[in-house]
Amino acid sequence: MFNLIHTTKRHMYESILQLGLPISPMHVRVMKIIDRKPHTTANDIACFINRDKAQVTRLLNLLIKESFIEKFSNPDDKRSQYLGLTTQGKAVIVKLIALEDRMQQQLVNGVTDAELAQLTAVLDKMNLNAKQL
């Protein structure tokens, strides 16, 4: 299991480099959160990825510097700002989703639907067990 995780993370990292993007898989994760959840704040991201606010701020600053995300005022709370993808950021997400789809198709190549269902059930149980660590 750890070998599979390591291999897929390594492939994702190498693929991001091949696309010429100056970001890490964690940046990708943050961008996907922003893409999926309108009106996302930095605090929302910190809670979702279980990282401290300083780490999230560093991640966001690079994404802003690279023009992948931008900040918007939050009319409900003047102390926080919403985050959104720029046009450039949306284009990056499209490329990354296509990359992830290709990776997923390669991973399940030759695996039956029944095997996938069994694997999902086992992984769900393991995930519950991990939450009790």
Tokens linked to 34: 């922003």
**2-131, CATH topology level:** Arc Repressor Mutant, subunit A (1.10.10)
Q: What is the pLDDT of residue 38?
A: 84
E-assigned strand segments in 43-110: 69-73, 81-85
Residues 19-37, mean pLDDT to the nearest whole number: 93
- DSSP code of residue 40: B
Q: Which pTM was predicted? A: 0.83
- Structural domain boundaries in the chain: 2-131
Q: What is the pLDDT of residues 98-129, one digit of tens each?
A: 999 999 999 999 999 999 999 999 999 999 99
Distance CA 44, CA 113 (A): 35
